[in-house]
Structure 1
Amino acid sequence: MKVIPGMGAAAALLLALPATAQDAPLLAPLFQDHGVLQRDKPLPVWGNAAPGQPVEVEIAGKTARATADSAGRWRVELPAIAAGGPYTLTVRAGSRVQTISDVLIGDVWLCSGQSNMELSVSQALNAQSEIANANDPMMRLITVQKDSATAPLERFKHPLAWEPVTPKTIGEFSAACYFMARDLKGRQKVPFGLIDSTWGGTAINAWRSAGSLAADPVAKGDAELRALHQRDPAAAARKWGTAWMQWWRERSGDAAGREPWQAGAPGNWLKLPAFELWEGWGVSAMENYNGIVWYRTEIRLTAAQAKKATGIELGIADDMDVAFVNGVPVGSTNVWNQQRSYPLAPGVLKAGVNLVTVGVIDTGGGGGMYGKDAPRLLKFADGATLALPPASDWQYRATPGIGDSPHTPWESTSGQSGLYNAMIAPIGPYRLRGVAWYQGEADTGAASGYSTRLAGLMSGWRGQFGDSQLPFLIVQIAGWGPRNAIPVESGNASIRDEQRRAVAADRNAALAVATDLGDVWDIHPANKQEVGRRLALGARVKAYGETIAYSGPWPVDARRTGDSVRVTFTGMDGPLQAWSATRPIGFELCAAAYASCRFVEARIDGDAVILDVADGAADRVRYCWGDSPVCTLYDRGGLPATPFELNVE
């Protein structure tokens, strides 16, 4: 990249401009050396210049012009260009010139989601060989750094760069994304550009735009609360905390005034061993504990101190904390390695003894308040601080069996829009061939309505990228967790069915079924080569117009006739078949009531599966239901039938 500043009077004018106009590159962040632009579509190019300044953009003999607006923003649209390159993209604004070299025209894919999309080539099957053989100068990669923001950003907080695929660059890139693109590139014979914007453990609403959330009646209340948090964090903490307190009472059975954050709360309160992860306390009951642990201490203040206090620091907690002072909720954070710092509204503290209580929720791995030297103190308006008591003056009480708790809508990874604002919005209207999305594990605790959330995400992103028909390839979450000998209710299975429903309602979306690719013991199965292949099958249909079977047997309906239920399928490559048996397994019939399902005998009949009703109810049919279900229905091409639940007609 080469930037040439102006001289003389023009340079003097630039020096008088705000830093954002005179110092920022003319082009938006994704326009860099070695980049890839989308072929065969009009190409938006944008950036920043001096307000009112004419801008000219040229590449491959195509030219477009615009004038920067009063904020210095400009945008042009170049005509569609066929695949090819390398080219040089040149932007001129007054006496400034920026050139981007080695630019290819081909297909650009955005890959996003949580840890299974983030999982790198170095962690995939046969990693050593895959990395050693990764040499493709016509495939380029760019990785967006993890970050969050309270409002949409125009530019990324961290620098990023396009890089050709080599053994040095591919190892830490998304494996599913790379293997998908490698398959597609072998067929399309054009350059490919891959954008990796992923963050493990993140919920879908964190990736949704504020606009899509505002249009979602279920999310509207959280969106309003998030807006309040931007204006008044302490008021938002109190309002959210009130709802959290009600959730606790419903789960714990505690009566009002008897909860752990109240003075004199009952229960087996024990002396805190140390500010370190509870697995290291040497307490046998805590060595493998996952759940909620309450911490509490007291601090004595004068009337003047109580009046001047403005905030409280509580050290670090793994994973999530909910903090109370004198029974008033003051804040919550769901980042395992972040210092807890919360504002205190006037009147929360009082002269005399004040109770500080922190509930820490851990769902796996280490848990607890930790960091022996982490700041734990009160902050005052005049800049003074007062240390909270040492660990020896704290108590703790474990409360197993409560389950995962609600999360604040302003959390970076589980709240609303934070990741979209910092990791998707700065991509701007960059033209794409499509999006690959692999996420859902973080939403299994609140599976109901996920299909609506996913539809909202797709709609919001299509709006940003200026393509109402932008293809979305959705990976259905893989099997993980315990197997079941009897029918069970399962958040994992519910998410899979919600993903199926979202794709069924969207003619520009495809589902890559991955239930059979899972690992009972590992939420991150390593066979990302097959995930990539199945994503590529969906892309060949939705993005490239091929006519092939791409998603395995897909349920159409379930109808009862006499003592049997007939489930009809479509989308197969050849006939239905059961693997390793003469009959498929994994089918259930259920009454309308919750937890009323039973396994039933099944047999294949052409494009359908016939289920034996026997003596039970048959209001619903489920297939492949559970955390790690064993399912045997496939098509001739080796693609599995999607897990599903249907009402019986």
Structure 2
Amino acid sequence: MFRNTLACFIVAFAFWAQLSAEVKLPSVFTDHMVLQRNVELPIWGSADPGEKVRVKFNGQSLRVKADENGKWQVELQPMEAGGPFELLVMGKNKLTVRDVLIGEVWVCSGQSNMEWPVAASDNAEVEIASANNSMIRFLTVPKNGTQVRQDDFEGAWEVCSPDSVREFSAVGYFFGRRLQQTLGVPIGLIDNAWGGSAAEAWMPRYAFESDPELAGILPDWDKRIAAFSDEVLEKQLQDYEVQRAKWIEDGRKGRSPRKPHDIRINQHRPANIFNGGVAPILGYGIKGVIWYQGETNAGRARQYHKTFPLMISTMRDEWGQGDFPFYWVQLADFKDETDSAVEENSWAEVREAQTATMKYIPNGGQAVIIDVGEGRDIHPRNKQVPAERLARWALANQYEIEMEYRSPEYSSMEIEGNKAVLSFDYVGERLYCFDVPSPKGFAIAGENGVFVHAEARLEGKDRIVVWSDKVDAPVAVRYGWANNPRVNVFSREGLPLTPFRTDSP
């Protein structure tokens, strides 16, 4: 009996020792992954402290020793696009990562409009059925809100297929597909989006401390968290069940009561998504980021002028790969449609902040989609157009393919009598009015600051003359300054004029 027990103990100890000594890779390195071409590529993992690790890939062989915390990292030298290859990692055990391609890697991030899946987008049946492309690979980062920086997550790369594309980011997939069709190289897409997320959640806590205006965000949140508990959440859930039952009893009139969530781990609390979703992939070789977010920050539109560029610059600093391309989608039109840009509104201010960010952020760009939104739904089903306009930025700037990529933007204004003559940059061939010959969506104001509907006409390739019989001496003009404006000015290449106001504070 003793001998059998001893034998079992030895076997169990040997098995435990073997597990404790395993060389491991995080989930960002799995079968079917895509590695970024033409850059130095960090590969990292864990092992026993001091364990010797060897990494072999595509003719390269590197050796490293795990540090005192069991962490190790090597850097592969730049490689051209190609594959498939195998990545071998050897220590006291051996790992083989199969079907690895080298190509272009883009992170697809933001809130629900980036998370929005192919299955819920326009032409979903056709898009899904035709998604047979082994040169495109997907990785989805799960939602994990936490104040503790994570170094891994549960996930794995997948090959693009009708099954795998169904729930993947539509904007991300359509963007990546266009790149793959154009470049003919493998494309890796990392879906790291969370519906309803605030920009603050994508930033580490220390980032807020660099700006006096933003620093106040943290104490406010800390007070909310201190007053929150499991008991508070349970009471909120009980109240919700009562309210929902009454809503059902009353015939489901109006919107259903919103179910409460744990604010300690949600997508609004500063640093939550950065720690849980961004930190685990920091350092992975990428070409750039595409971003679709801003709706949640509409209530703090003026603050977004600082929050958004700070978020981008902080993310780049943390990634350690320089000023990689960061391209975002400007907010679409939404809510009730209006004729003129005559009132203050938060969505227009967020769009203004997004446009202004191009002045502060090098290698950044904006896809304007003021023409493809849906008044009744904050989630436009047309995800192909935003993806195409993001792809223009990448194809023109990163891959040197000659094409117009930037929407026309306001440049300057001259007053001639009772008319304002506006000049524009990035007009391509020329400005163009869709559907009707005259520009729509302009408002004009005199010294009293009261905006009224304006008439307008195109003049030359890059000017628009704006006036109103109600304004004798104009001082300011606005275009598309509404949640859902009626606008119709484009470049001849089909890129919409960027909403603007000349009286920007």
- TM-score with structure 1 length normalisation? 0.70
Evaluate the alpha carbon distance shift between residue 421 and residue 182 of structure 1 in structure 2; reply closer, same or farther with a 3 A threshold.
same
Are 2:182 and 1:216 aligned?
A: no
5 Å-filtered alignment, 1:509-520, equals: 509-520=364-375
CA contact (8 A) 1:40 1:82 kept: yes
- Aligned partner of 2:459 in structure 1 is 605
CA gap of 1:218–1:127, structure 2 versus 1, over 3 A, is same
Q: Which residue of 2 aligns with 1:118?
A: 115
User: In 2, Cα distance between the equivalents of 1:162 and 1:579?
Assistant: 42
Instruction: Write the letter of the residue equivalent to 1:288.
Output: G
Instruction: For residue 589 of structure 1, report the CA deviation from its aligned partner.
Output: 2.4
C-alpha separation in 2, matches of 1:618 and 1:411: 51
Q: Given the superposition, is the C-alpha separation of residues 626 and 67 from structure 1 closer, same or farther in structure 2, using an over 3 Å criterion?
A: same
- Deviation at residue 545 of structure 1 after TM alignment: 3.1
Q: Which amino acid in 2 is paired with 1:31?
A: F
Matched, 1:638 2:499: no
Shift of 1:492: 1.4
State which structure, 1 or 2, has the greater radius of gyration over its C-alpha atoms.
1
Q: Is 2:500 aligned against 1:500? A: no
Q: 1:569 to 1:424 in 2, by over 3 A?
A: same
Q: Which residue of 2 aligns with 1:568?
A: 423
Gaps of at least 5 residues in structure 1 are 1-8, 239-271, 291-317, 320-335, 341-407
Q: Does 1:470 align with 2:324?
A: yes
Q: Secondary structure at the match of 1:447?
A: helix
Structure 1 residue 613: deviation in Å?
A: 6.1
Equivalent residues in 2 for 1:85-104, closer than 5 Å: 85-93=83-91, 95-104=92-101
The answer on 1:107 being equivalent to 2:114 is no
The residue that corresponds to 2:161 in the other structure is 166
CA contact (8 A) 1:109 1:193 kept: yes
The partner residue of 1:182 within 161, 177, 185 is 177
Q: Secondary structure at the match of 1:125?
A: coil
What residue is the counterpart of 2:254 in the other structure? 288
**Match for 1:168: what amino acid?**
D
Which one of 565, 578, 581 corresponds to residue 436 of structure 2? 581
Matches of 2:90 and 2:445, distance apart in 1: 67
Which position in structure 1 is the counterpart of 2:274?
420
* Partner in structure 2 of residue 434 of structure 1: 288
Deviations 1:482-520 (A, max 9, x none): 112452222111111111111233230111111100111
Note the C-alpha offset of 1:451.
Answer: 2.7
Q: Retained in 1: the 8 A contact 2:283–2:321?
A: no
How do residues 223-302 of structure 1 correspond to structure 2 at under 5 angstroms? 223-224=218-219, 226=221, 234=226, 275-277=242-244, 280=247, 282-283=249-250, 287-288=253-254
Instruction: Output the amino acid matched with 2:193.
Output: T
Q: How far did 1:620 drift?
A: 3.3
| Aligned equivalent of 1:135, options 132, 137, 140 | 132
Partner Cα separation in structure 2 for residue 632 and residue 274 of structure 1: 46
Q: CA deviation digits over 1:284-320, x for unaligned, max 9?
A: 8x93268xxxxxxxxxxxxxxxxxxxxxxxxxxx54x
SS of 1:522's partner is coil
Partner of 2:56 in structure 1?
A: 58
User: Residues of 2 paired with 1:44 and 1:619: CA distance?
Assistant: 55
Name the residue aligned to 2:75: 77
Query: Between Structure 1 and Structure 2, which shows a larger proportion of strand residues?
Result: 1
Post-superposition offset of 1:121 = 0.7
Match of 2:400 in 1: 545
Q: 1: CA distance between counterparts of 2:448 and 2:248?
A: 44
Q: CA RMSD in A?
A: 2.8
CA distance in 2, matches of 1:522, 1:225: 31
Q: Deviations over 1:315-348 (max 9, x none)?
A: xxx54xxxxxxxxxxxxxxxx354x7xxxxxxxx
State the TM-score, normalizing by the size of structure 2. 0.88
Q: Secondary structure at the match of 1:275?
A: helix
Q: Is residue 2:111 matched to residue 1:144? A: no
Helix, strand or coil at the partner of 2:182:
helix
Counterparts of 1:216 and 1:151 in 2: how far apart (Å)? 23
Residue in structure 2 matched with residue 154 of structure 1 by the alignment: 151
Equivalent residue in structure 1 for 2:333, among 474, 479, 486 = 479
Q: Name the aligned partner's letter for residue 364 of structure 2.
A: A
Q: State how far apart, in whole Å, the 2-side matches of 1:206 and 1:121 are.
A: 25
User: Structure 1 residue 224: deviation in Å?
Assistant: 4.4
Q: What are the superposed Cα offsets for residues 570-603 of structure 1, whole Å, 9 maximum, x if unpaired? A: 1122011112222201112246888x32221222
More helix by share: 2
Match in the other structure for 1:452: 306
Q: Which residue of 2 aligns with 1:534?
A: 389
